[in-house]
Amino acid sequence: MNFTNANSGRLSATSLALLKQQGQITVYEDGEVIHQRGDQSPGLSAVLSGAVRVGNYGRDGRYFLSAQLGPGDSFGEQTVFTALPRSHSAEAVGETRISQLGPGQTKALLLEHPKLALDLLGSLAQRLHWSLEALDDSKRLPLMLRTAKLIRYIDQQEEANGQLSVSQEQLAAQIGVSRMSLSKALNKLQSQGLIERRYKTLKIVDRQRLQSWIEANSETLSIS
């Protein structure tokens, strides 16, 4: 039985409802800090509404976005099962409601509800896969192909059906490149007829064609 949304890596509606019922609900305003990198604040958090921006600032002040989480996403699992501090800073994007559970409460709930444990494990495995693939891509693939894969990933995660509400700044921050470099990559993808650029949005012209293009170019690189 599949307890996790395999397309998005998010928790199922049943698991999210359970975390909402058992956790402490906190409402954050736009831009409000939820926690900072290095904080010793263990606990599991589940996004109920709104969004959470997760990332860190470099020494030069540039922001590197690791992920933007939406309803059904969870974070903080590593602090529940280890003594590790928070690895990333998190802040609300728009008014955001989060259900928060302490380590002891989380462990007790997972033992009492095995389906929740399997759902959470499935979500973690999916996100780990994406993270490892992104790390490998950053070492091997040209920026144009990495950008195409990120666009496909966001489309799948948000179930956007090819209409992505994402800014150029967000894409650049998530890949870890300058806005100018990202713009050049987007222009190349547009010239290939794969995407259409719009103000703070992107349209995938043909989702299957984008997928085929990514697979064909990734295969060529791996062979060469």
> Which pLDDT value is given to residue 1?
30
- 8 falls in which pLDDT band (50, 70, 90)? low
Q: What local confidence, expressed as pLDDT, does residue 39 receive?
A: 96
Pair of tokens at residue 121: 């494990």
Q: What is the pLDDT of residue 223?
A: 44
At residue 3 the predicted structure's pLDDT band, cuts being 50, 70 and 90, is very low
Q: How confident is the model at residue 221, as a pLDDT?
A: 57
